[in-house]
Amino acid sequence: METIRALVVRESTPLPTVAVEALPASSFSERPLRVRVAYSTLNYKDGMVMRGQGRLVRTYPHIPGVDLVGQVLSDATDTYAPGDWIIATGFRIGELYWGGYAEEAFLEPAWAVRLPSSMTPRQAMGIGTAGLTAMLAIMALEHLSILPGSEAPLLVTGAVGGVGSIAIAIASRLGYTVAGSTGRDTETDYLTHLGASIVIPRSDLDGGPERPLESERWLGCIDSVGGQTLARVLAQTKSNGAIASVGLAGGSSFTASVMPFLLRGVSIAGIDSVNAPLSEREIAWSRLAELLDPALLEEMITEISLEQLPTYAENILAGQVRGRVVVALDTGL
């Protein structure tokens, strides 16, 4: 009987059980695109899935992993040929559908994009959903005319995490003056090495605004924290500035005033990397391949095995992961 090795989450009380198992290939959904997975990643959402948080998974057993890169084994639609390399992120992979923490994945071709020729599979997962989200956020800010050249800094909150790390590296490369906000005062050297000109403590922002409008500090912001951090950043954003909202590590709700919108013309752009159309994804991956220094990306990466995932899931939910965690499935491809 053909089996596929995978990290399997099974329903249990009070927490799901998580273990590496060999599952029958017949237990996987018969979608047309069959891929041999080389690497996946660990994202905050994956940690939530393994801990049973947020009702992200409705049916068990489940295989997490919202990202994967791999080599096509077969495609019944002939969209891809055997041997092609593809990246798959979003589209509820790893949530509604079995994801990348398995030696093979069965996908819809519309969920995949081709791996850029200048990018290795490992680099692609060093980028993953986090990097794609960062690039989409920068593209949204560019669309709102938040461009390099201003003396005011572009703020990146949650700067040590995956989205934040890659956002700082790309924004700095594009010529923005970048400020990074973090609650870890030991990471200043890491952030300045990535390209941050200013590092500020999270405590400066996480209490919410003291007034509806505060002193103008930020050209714009890529915010992965949400909550009252987003409220304070909004009150401090310069006239005609904009915030790309990409996450909610600090909470899903915030209390703020409409005055930054009415008196300063500030905008908030929501970034949905799960459902972003393929056309935007292809542009974003192309720009990531062009802009992200491979040596700098390598310094962000921690590579782990399937067996190490449960421990790292605890760490990422506790805010103790720096940069990007890459999960090796088949490095011999």
Q: What is the pLDDT of residue 207?
A: 85
Residue 258: which residues within 8 A CB-CB, separation 6 or more?
none
pLDDT for residue 252 is more than 90: no
Q: What is the pLDDT of residue 55?
A: 86
pLDDT for residue 250 is more than 90: no
Residue 319: which residues within 8 A CB-CB, separation 6 or more?
161, 183, 249
Q: Band the pLDDT of 54: cuts 50, 70, 90.
A: confident
Q: What is the pLDDT of residue 319?
A: 86
Residue 149: which residues within 8 A CB-CB, separation 6 or more?
175
Q: Band the pLDDT of 226: cuts 50, 70, 90.
A: very high
Q: Band the pLDDT of 214: cuts 50, 70, 90.
A: very high
HSE of 54, CA atoms in CB hemisphere, 13 A: 16
Mean pLDDT of the chain: 95
% of the chain beyond a pLDDT of 90: 91
pLDDT for residue 333 is more than 80: no
User: How many angstroms separate the CA atoms of 203 and 226, rounded?
Assistant: 14
Q: Band the pLDDT of 106: cuts 50, 70, 90.
A: very high
pTM of the model: 0.93
The vertex-281 CA angle with 144 and 324, nearest 5°, equals: 95
User: How many angstroms separate the CA atoms of 42 and 325, rounded?
Assistant: 5
User: How many angstroms separate the CA atoms of 85 and 123, rounded?
Assistant: 13
C-beta separation of 312 from 40 below 8 A:
no
